[in-house]
Amino acid sequence: MERKTSENKLHKSMAMKITADRAMILEQKWKKKVEIYYENVEIGTKVVVSLPEI
């Protein structure tokens, strides 16, 4: 996801990729599914991470 800053430079957000990478690491370690949901809200993005019981 890229957005323009006030100086017209491009900013590349890494948060979604980092979150997905961390979920993948946990799935491999726990051998269980980790679910991530993204929801656009008025002031940004809401991220819900669903972790399994271990």
Quote the number of domains for the chain: 1
Give the number of other Cβ atoms within 10 Å of residue 17's Cβ. Answer: 11
Residue showing tokens 């430079």? 9
Q: Is the pLDDT of residue 53 over 80?
A: yes
pLDDT tens for each residue of 10-45: 777 898 899 999 999 999 999 999 999 999 999 998
Model pLDDT, residue 50: 95
Report pTM. 0.66
CA 34 to CA 44: how far, in whole Å?
A: 23
Q: What share of the chain is helix, strand, coil (3-state, %, to 5)?
A: 30, 35, 35
Residue range of the domain that includes 17:
2-50
Res. 7 pLDDT band, cuts 50 70 90: low
CA 3 to CA 49: how far, in whole Å?
A: 24
